[in-house]
Amino acid sequence: MRERSRPGSTRVVRSWKWTAFSLAIAAAGAGGAALLWPRGYGYWALGAALAGAAVAAGVFLSSGAAPCPSCGGEIAPLGFGENRYVRCPACGGYSEGEGGAIWAIEPDRVAGRPEFAIPLAGAWRLPGLCCACGEEAVRTERITIRRAFTRGSPTSPRLPNLTIEAPHCARHTGGAALDGEASREFSVEAMKGYLTVLRVRSYRFYRAFRELNGG
């Protein structure tokens, strides 16, 4: 992170939807404690109250929202301090920020680890760029993920393992990783079934993938 504001930045304001969500969690914890305490479950009641308060506090502190600096769509939830690599659900652009503002990251950004998330659904092609730095790729690096059940149920059919030959230049390795967890970036897609996400270090590669595959 560098300066606290810059041209094109947008302000983070409180999202009352996420604030209400945090209050609902706190109320649920208090309600559970109220039910357990009269029945002699004092420790359980205290645990329910503390757990609810802790979760609610975390949500409350990250209950901000801001217009996407690239398209104007809402990005939420956001913290009111530092935000790193937050993805707009509308345009797919990534932003970062601090001091109550966010701004679009530069097109050639290279993250320290695979951060930029690409959902792998349907047919897709990989661009001929290094997924670690965005320069021309000259070789590939094989990555594999052992995928679980279609909808997370032991009775659902298991999906086949997924192997990708991730493009790399001669200088870099480890530019990509496969993620089988339902991430917050794609919560809606994940609810439809098992979702595999390809994460890459190069934002240029990420943008090229989306352009190549109509994303």
Residue 131 domain boundaries: 116-212
Query: Using CA atoms, how far apart are residues 167 and 128, in angstroms rounded to an integer?
Result: 7
Same domain, 165 and 187: yes
Number of domains present in the structure of the chain: 2
- The secondary structure of residue 170, as a DSSP letter, is S
Is 159 domain-assigned?
Answer: yes
Is 63 domain-assigned?
Answer: yes
Domain final position from 104, 128, 151: 104
Pair 176, 143: CB distance under 8 Å? yes
Assign 3-state DSSP to the chain and report helix, strand, coil percentages, each to 5.
30, 30, 45
Q: How confident is the model at residue 110, as a pLDDT?
A: 98
Q: How confident is the model at residue 2, as a pLDDT?
A: 44
Domain final position from 104, 137, 153: 104
pLDDT tens for the chain, 215 residues long, are 444 557 689 998 886 665 565 556 555 555 544 554 455 545 444 554 455 455 445 544 566 899 999 999 999 888 888 999 999 999 999 999 998 999 999 999 999 999 999 988 788 999 999 999 999 999 999 999 876 555 555 555 666 788 999 999 999 999 999 987 655 556 555 445 557 889 999 999 999 999 999 87
Is 109 domain-assigned?
Answer: no
Query: Residue 88 corresponds to which tokens in the numbers above?
Result: 């707009």
Is 135 domain-assigned?
Answer: yes
Same domain, 164 and 96: no
